[in-house]
Structure 1
């Protein structure tokens, strides 16, 4: 047997060092941000540190495809917990949405329908006056669906404080991380990919930092996928998955755009059961809030017609057509076309597998999740309002279908926090056209460069399979 070369002897040592240094560097970067007393005055630092953390994740993705990491589930979850603990007790600085959450949750616990009246029309109790003052857009009835109200109530029950509600949302987020690891194992994918979400700056800042509820919706989406994969062949499993997906959509409406593609994962003999479970779950969650629940449409209508933020495609179309309404309709049409295209391509790819319609295979599940990733990307690039936490729908799917475009977009949305500087100091909300353009063009450029790199690598080695083009 020939003797080992020095490079062969040092390779395991290098892999060990990388496995240790990457989580340590990640934790150190997050600690820099956690020590900042006011993130709204440290937006350049936030952008720079999160960029460094994102580049480290990109390195993990690129290197891990050829030299997998050996992180155990305990290490991945332990580091994820540490990163979130750095921010969970801090005030919610970058967003004030959590005060609306607390107001709604308190109303539910008090037996008051949160859809009955807008906060501006209600006189707060003594202990709720400070929360009431911090609510944004008090003139609108809550825009959050019924399942979100139950999450708010559960989190508010933990002391009725920002920290208590954030801690509850972080707990759900850690469950999401655990389900990501479990689903990766079930699909035959390496579990190190879970760090693309678990150690990502976006969920840490938006859930542990600002306390956004979007992660809870995506946790239920992954739960629906897991139920389909494990028990989708049975009536109960398919119906249960449909009900869980309804709950995901009724926490935040965004998962609805993933519905057509997810439906393809349901075995054909069980699709009626999935649909029935969805309808039953949505009805069961909605009944307690009737009849006032219908008022949510007024708030959703105002949001759909009037809200806009960091939407490059919307701004471009409005400038070209001279009509915001026409631009919104055009973007809805584009999104629907993207959903239809992703659904059709996934269905066409599954056509040869019709003989296995009674089961959900790992290949089917990976294909569906990749299509969901594409739909989420289309949603974020076409929405007139792109708040940073909206990208959590994409971040959740990174471990299953990650490519440069998705990784870059989950960082680029943080650039929009530039508006916090003049708003905090002067009280003026001033958006930057350059930032809006960068948020859109950064992932598009990354996608194009990824495609070129992928083709170049495949030309050199046809056996190479890389996520670079996604």
Structure 2
């Protein structure tokens, strides 16, 4: 008789098979979706396939905490690239924001300030006529800040086409994936956790598919965070971190809510240097667009007062009070209180180099960023699916059931595309809006109860929200 293989050998064989099968299954699901000629008519299939992928990512997180995966950075980035290539050359179907990007970037390359006038008030040159005709809300001056304009111009320089701009944004997104790996190592966390973003269907669809710029903002935010961890104890390091964070905030304004965390984790003697770098970064990026940059206030004001989509908390509060203005102000107050409560617990980095202490405090700070981002998404009156890219980029550091669920439920809001594409009617679904909010809340509650039951029974459970 032959002896059965040791348990460790069986476990190793199982882990190898799982490590090989998981990326293949994720790629197969996205390949099925990429074969659809019109995603706006394939929303049910998209939500089903992405649900499978998010379940696989949850399995990766659960199993990886117990039996770590041995995926190397090259494999993680290679699979990430392959997934993005599936959608790179397809037209942007789920969103038409990229045409505004091309319009702004093309004008900037021609030496025209994109804040000078709204597209509707401008005569397009020959090379931008098709782009001009596809811009949404052409009556408004661009709402995108100066750093975003720089990215638009860089992407528009690659042929001035949708594919060229998406190619540039995908490259930036892959840089973001690389930054995640570097930061995970710096924080003494396993590298395999980077797949929670790199293989996540949300950035694949929203950046490679629709060409959204949000990945650029998060790449700059993580760069600023990494600079603080590595050289924040020096004047130039803290100042450079502040300047890079200013650039992140001027790609999309949402990262501004994470500014207090960066400021507080900077070593105490260097916080003023961080603030000075931030102010200098704002000035250097904004001055070239003055005085016309002031006109962005009109577009931002209209967005803040009038825009709403998939905001369950906003809809509920407005229905209870009868006032949309009150609901917006109340939710802003709730968010600010939440930010204040979380940042008050964030410890500063040590003045003297200490890798272990820096890693611990860095992990604590990123968990705070994750919680703040979750609160932002659940309280904003307007929750477009690509807004959740900010949360997805933080999943590798603080992932839990609520975050994974929210990164999927936001895709349910694309249901609105079906009647809009067929009938030209924008009909939001209250049950979908409720699910986007309540599903992650239920997942968080279930994880808390599970963790408490596990503690009572002596069984540990992965941390996260």
TM-score by length of structure 1 reads 0.96
Deviations 1:352-398 (A, max 9, x none): x8xx3445710110000000000000000000000000001100000
- CA distance in 2 between partners of 1:60 and 1:165 (Å): 32
**Could you say which residue in structure 1 is the equivalent of 2:220?**
220
Structure 1 residue aligned with 2:193: 193
1:457 — aligned with what? Answer: 454
Q: Does 1:422 align with 2:416?
A: no
Where do 5+ consecutive residues of structure 1 fail to align? none
Instruction: Give the Cα–Cα distance (whole angstroms) in 2 for the partners of residues 465 and 230 of structure 1.
Output: 31
Q: Secondary structure at the match of 1:305?
A: helix
Which one is further off, 8-17 or 243-252? 8-17
Which residue of structure 1 aligns with residue 103 of structure 2? 103
- Count of paired positions: 460
Partner of 2:267: 267
Secondary structure at 2:265 match in 1:
coil
1:455 to partner: Cα distance? 1.4
Secondary structure in structure 1 of the residue aligned to 2:159: coil
Deviations 1:183-204 (A, max 9, x none): 0011100000000000001000
The one-character-per-residue Cα deviations of 1:97-127 (angstroms, maximum 9, x if unpaired) are 0000000000100000000000000011122
Conserved? CA contact 1:264–1:368, under 8 Å: no
CA distance in 1, matches of 2:7, 2:453: 27
Trace 1:90-169 onto structure 2 (pairs within 5 A): 90-169=90-169
* 1:204-283 to 2 correspondences below 5 Å: 204-283=204-283
Task: Report the Cα offset of residue 263 of structure 1.
Answer: 1.2
Given candidates 366, 375, 383, the residue that maps to 1:369 is 366
Query: Which structure 2 segments of 5+ residues have no match?
Result: none
Q: CA offset at residue 5 of structure 1? A: 5.3
Matched residues in 2 for 1:434 and 1:195: separation?
A: 31
SS in 2 for 1:283: helix
Q: Is the 8 A contact 1:268 1:358 kept in 2?
A: no
Contact 1:267 1:358 in 2 (8 A): no
Displacement of 1:434: 0.2
Tell me, what secondary structure is at the counterpart of 1:139?
A: coil
d(CA) in 2 for partners of 1:241 and 1:344? Answer: 21
1:405 equivalent in alignment to 2:395: no
Could you tell me how far apart the structure 1 residues matched to 2:9 and 2:183 are?
34
Give SS of 1:364's match. helix
Deviation (angstroms), 1:460: 2.3
8 Å CA contact 1:269–1:358 kept in 2: the answer is: no
Shift of 1:465: 5.5
* RMSD (Å) for aligned C-alpha atoms: 1.2
How far apart, CA to CA, are the structure 1 residues paired with 2:19 and 2:362? 29
2:341 corresponds to: 341
CA drift of 1:459 comes to 2.1
Q: TM-score, normalised by structure 2?
A: 0.97
Give me the whole-angstrom Cα distance separating, in 2, the residues matched to 1:194 and 1:42.
29
Distance 1:36 1:266 in 2: 48
Q: In structure 2, do the counterparts of structure 1 residues 188 and 426 end up closer, same or farther at CA, with 3 Å as the change threshold?
A: same
Whole-Å Cα distance in 2 between the matches of residues 139 and 50 of structure 1? 35
How far 1:74 moved relative to its partner? Answer: 0.4
Alignment of 1:312-331 (within 5 A): 312-331=312-331
Give a deviation string over 1:259-300, Cα, whole Å, max 9, x none. Answer: 111212101110010000000011000011000000001100
The 3-state SS of whatever aligns with 2:242 is helix
Q: Which whole-Å CA distance do the structure 2 matches of 1:318 and 1:357 have between them? A: 47
> Whole-Å Cα distance in 1 between the matches of residues 461 and 249 of structure 2?
34
